[in-house]
Structure 1
Amino acid sequence: MCLGIPGKVIKTGEGLMPMGLIDVVGDERPCCFAYTPEVEVGDFVMFQHGFAVDTVEKAEAEETLRTIHEFDMLGG
């Protein structure tokens, strides 16, 4: 099963494959923003397999993270 995880954008890049960083539950991860070129630092995105696949509102990101933690879906 694939699971999109919300993360907060902390750095963006430019170019054909714009790379940046997102914060996923306190862990900084590299992220490609090719599918979401409009994102800015501070935005929230759904992150899957190294790509930001969509933008989400902060409240939706927080609710999703609560559910992920409730069901221990991150295994930690």
Structure 2
Amino acid sequence: STLKQNYPDAKIDMLLYQDTIPILSENPEINALYGISNKGAGTFDKIKNVLSLIKTLRANNYDLVINLTDQWMVALLVRC
């Protein structure tokens, strides 16, 4: 990818829907995949999952986040 060509030491993580993780799971340029899985979950489980994901993403101390979605929830996640 262009990012890896310009920043060969960069660690690239992706946040995507859990169902789409298999599409990118074999990509050697991606360090980690984080999935959002709220299908069939109740409100409490959704909140619990989002809070857990926020904690995990914050711990990574990202230098840069590129958000390619128009989803408000993802915007909040990457902002945290």
> TM-score, normalised on structure 2?
0.26
More helix by share: 2
Say which structure, 1 or 2, has more relative contact order (CA 8 Å, 6+ apart).
1
Structure of higher CA gyration radius:
2
